[in-house]
Structure 1
Amino acid sequence: MRIGLVGTGRIGQSHAAALRARPEVAELLLADVDVDRARAVAAKVGARSVEVDALLRPGAVDALVIAAATPAHPALIRAGIAAEVPVFCEKPVAPTVAETVRILEEVQRAKTPVHVGFMRRFDPGYLRAHSAVRAGELGDLHRVHALTCDMAPPPAGYIASSGGLFHDCHVHDFDILRWVTGREVEEVFAYGANRGESYFADHGDVDTSAAVLRLDDGTLATLQGSRYNGAGYDVRMELAGSRSTLVVGLDDQVPLRSAEPGVDFPVGDPWEVFWPRFTAAYEAEIGAFVAMVADDAPSPCTVADALEAVLIAEAADLSRRERRPVRLTEVRP
């Protein structure tokens, strides 16, 4: 198959390498508004560099991968469905809830599969948790705790257009919470704090978060996050049931130290950034997309799924700003 990829920044380069490694991909075409960068990446991975418009013509490619900047996502998704080719799009689908809803309506009318890049669904640990919950291994699920903590904050220029901590970072936690538990979030009560550089507050954002989420079966989930976790990059999920407790992300590279005498776990060097921690997941999600194209199969992570995660983020941010619990019905279009 012939696949086109738009956007050759950090994520795009990694997706390009993963696509080139797939035997099903006979030709990979790369495009970027930064033409020189696209050419350099194409030469590095053994692909061909073309103009963006060349990828969007009907019949040009068999599938389209979108790794461009967020503002470009809606137009590129529309171009993909207009060309009637399956689309993979990095999150978010669009900068706003309203635009995400419009894209969802267009995708549903076109019946073109769009796979949104929530890579945690393809991480071995989260896959194991998903299976354990479905099989009843944990018994009745009593509580869930999730956290996402960066070792160091992103630059100020990124924060200005990131959408904020709940949309940019915790949207992954919200998606995986739905996917692992099979439940929907009904209400959120979130807090935020500024413990580091002033540029977060300057843009109406926070660098530290905590939230309680009530699921539709009454289960309570808690969430924590930070842009300043100096010990290392830390992403975990704890699921406690009436029979047992399972933890995702508890490996030899988790950035924790025990205060108990004689305990030396973990023994590995902590993760520092997200890519090494989730390399296998990113590669697996690209493999799933290629399989979706080859088999003419439905999307494993739809625009509808992405919208639900964004609505939780919207509720969390509203709760944080107004200091009150927010039901999902308040932000649902």
Structure 2
Amino acid sequence: MRIGLIGAGRIGAMHARLLDAQPDVAEVVVADVDPARAVVVAETLTRGVAAGIETAMDGVDAVAIASSTDTHVEYLIAAAKAGLPTFCEKPIALDLENTRRAIDAIDDAGVSVLMGFQRRYDPAIRAIRDRVVASGSRVPYLVRSQTHDPEPPPIDYVKVSGGIFRDCLIHDIDAVRYVTGQEVVSVRAIGAATGFPEIAAAGDVDSAAALLEMSGGTLAQLSGIRHDPVGYDVRLEVFTPDAAMSAGWGDAAAIVSLEPGAVAPADPFTNFWDRFDAAYKAEIAAFVAMVGGKATPAATHHDAYADLQVAAACDLSLSEGRTVYMSEVS
């Protein structure tokens, strides 16, 4: 199969390599707003070719969208009209209205879309999900999910990111929905900008937390910080009547135990590439399988909308200092 890839930046280049490694992919057609960058990425592949943005969807069997967020909606609509199965990095858009516009086009066309919430393909997180599903009616008591970045993103990015909930903690929102199989009923969010005044000046926070009430009765806690001095610390913990489970704990976990005799991590995770290497590989393999009619997406465009709704509710809760119910956000 021939796969069109739109976006040859940092994440696009990674997806290009992963697509190139798939046995069922005969050619990766790389396109970018910067044609020279598309050429550079294509030349690193064994089966890559560069193309212009305007022809990226011509003669391909599917398309992967890894361009800037502000282009996702139009590319998704174009892919839907062309009848192409699509992979799209999160988010579809930073607002619900434009996200809905893309979703309507996708649904009208009836094409399959896999959204880039790669944590659904993380082996440990999938194992937790399987254990929860296997337990049947035994609802989890509590879920804790966190994303602690080693360094804040560039301030120019912060200004257009949509804020910590829509940009960062939306992954945790999606992971909680995924492992519990429940939807969010209400949120209470708080945040602070104590370490980076430039983030506060940009209208965002550098530390955030939220309590989610889930539809099945489970409680969920989210936390996010833009600066973790040890490294990149993403963990998920689930407590059920049968088990206490975690994903992200291990020798590379970016946290130091002060228990007597404990050993500090020698090589903690410092970026999302390393932490989710297996997940990214499994995600692209699942996309190729979806194109071939052998798999269904773990995260769809409707999941992207539900996650964004929760992030928007968290923003509203943060700004107004109160519990927000999902019925208030549409």
Q: CA deviation at 1:139?
A: 4.8
Q: CA deviation at 1:197?
A: 2.1
Aligned-residue sequence identity (percent) comes to: 43
* In structure 1, distance between residues paired with 2:228 and 2:266: 17
Q: What is the aligned partner in structure 2 of residue 323 from structure 1?
A: 321
1:280-295 pair list within 5 angstroms? 280-295=278-293
Q: What is the aligned partner in structure 2 of residue 36 from structure 1?
A: 36
Q: What is the aligned partner in structure 2 of residue 273 from structure 1?
A: 271
Checking the alignment, whether the CA contact within 8 Å between 1:138 and 1:243 is kept in structure 2 is no
Checking the alignment, whether the CA contact within 8 Å between 1:140 and 1:243 is kept in structure 2 is no
Q: What is the aligned partner in structure 2 of residue 6 from structure 1?
A: 6
State the TM-score, normalized to the length of structure 2.
0.97
**Bigger mean CA deviation after superposition, 92-101 or 14-23:** 92-101
Checking the alignment, whether the CA contact within 8 Å between 2:152 and 2:226 is kept in structure 1 is yes
Q: What is the aligned partner in structure 2 of residue 26 from structure 1?
A: 26
Q: CA deviation at 1:223?
A: 1.1
Does 1:241 pair with 2:227?
no
Does 1:208 pair with 2:201?
no
1:78-97 pair list within 5 angstroms? 78-97=77-96
How many aligned positions are there? 329
State the TM-score, normalized to the length of structure 1.
0.96
1:203 partner letter: A
Does 1:197 pair with 2:199?
no
Checking the alignment, whether the CA contact within 8 Å between 1:126 and 1:180 is kept in structure 2 is yes
Does 1:16 pair with 2:10?
no
1:163-174 pair list within 5 angstroms? 163-174=162-173
Q: What is the aligned partner in structure 2 of residue 142 from structure 1?
A: 141
Q: CA deviation at 1:214?
A: 0.5
* In structure 1, distance between residues paired with 2:164 and 2:36: 32
Q: Any gaps of 5 or more consecutive residues in structure 1?
A: none
1:106 partner letter: A
* In structure 1, distance between residues paired with 2:150 and 2:295: 38
* In structure 2, distance between residues paired with 1:317 and 1:3: 36
Q: What is the aligned partner in structure 2 of residue 56 from structure 1?
A: 57
Q: CA deviation at 1:144?
A: 1.1
1:52 partner letter: I
* In structure 1, distance between residues paired with 2:3 and 2:67: 15
* In structure 2, distance between residues paired with 1:216 and 1:270: 35
Q: Any gaps of 5 or more consecutive residues in structure 2?
A: none
* In structure 1, distance between residues paired with 2:160 and 2:142: 33
Instruction: Describe the shift of the 1:133–1:53 C-alpha distance in structure 2 as closer, same or farther (beyond 3 A).
Output: same
* In structure 2, distance between residues paired with 1:267 and 1:317: 34
